Amino acid sequence: MNKTKRTAIFERLRQANPTPTTELRYSSAFELLIAVILSAQATDKGVNKATERLFAVANTPAAILALGEDGLKTQIRTIGLFNAKAKNIIATCRKLVDEHGGEVPRERAALEALPGVGRKTANVVLNTAFGEPTIAVDTHIFRVANRTGLAPGKTPLAVEQGLLRLVPAPFLQDAHHWLILHGRYLCKARKPNCPHCPISDLCEYRQKTPADPKTIPEQMPQSVPELNKKAIDR
């Protein structure tokens, strides 16, 4: 895909949604960090329900430590893998208090040193809480980047590096959210909604969903593999 096409894709995504952001609800870098840790293999909707309860009683590292692991589990028990997530969140809060004065660090290495925080979570926090032009490749971005031809790659890291190199500078800050939302609501894994896609004429996917619903197969053939969700969970 050439630069003119890439630019046109982002111009259209921007036109459709000029100020994209995460669907996770948060009011501080710390709340965002906790919400992203909780979002592994869970929906944003489910996380928002749990964090609404949790942040009402504890929304700082010290307050969550005071709640204790069992108290935290009670607040987040509706979310998958809540036992492991509670353990990680308590350890992360302890590290934030002991090593960072209770604040979320702005450096990638320090973020990735927190329990339960991998490259993807660090990228989300750096981008959304601190305004850094990073791209967190989740299952949606991985699929969209490969299907469209924006930045094909076999691993999340390859796609991330491709996007960082190829997304035109004016769009880099928001590319992460535009691509996630596009993958979540239009360019879905099983049946991409190509007939209603604003970038259909620019996308290089060869097996676009046809316009006539009667001809849409149950399972679209995939020219790119779906990535194992666990591989890009954190």
Residues that bind ligand SF4 in the complex, under the rule CB under 6 A: 147-148, 186-187, 192-194, 197, 199-200, 203, 205, 208
Shortest Å distance, C-beta 148 to ligand SF4: 5
Minimal distance in Å, beta carbon 116 to ligand SF4?
Answer: 31
> Which residue is catalytic, options 120, 174, 191, 233?
120
Closer of 102 and 149 to ligand SF4 (Cβ): 149
Q: Say which of 138, 154, 208, 230 is annotated catalytic.
A: 138
Of 54 and 197, nearer to ligand SF4 (C-beta) is 197
175 or 197, CB closer to ligand SF4?
A: 197
Measure the CA–CA gap between 44 and 51, rounded to whole angstroms: 10
Residue pair 12/198 in contact by the 8 Å Cβ criterion: yes
Say which residue the tokens 């630069």 belong to. Answer: 3
Q: How far apart are CA 185 and CA 49, in angstroms?
A: 20
Three-state secondary structure call for residue 77: coil
CB of 207 to ligand SF4, least distance (A): 8
User: In the bound complex, what is the minimum distance in angstroms from residue 226's beta carbon to ligand SF4?
Assistant: 13
Please indicate whether residue 44 is annotated as part of the active site.
no
Tell me if residue 120 is catalytic.
yes
Contact 74, 92 (CB under 8 A): no
Long-range contacts of 25-29 (CB under 8 A, 24+ apart): 25/51, 25/52, 26/51, 27/55, 27/59, 28/59, 28/129, 29/103, 29/104, 29/125, 29/129, 29/130
Active site residues: 120, 138
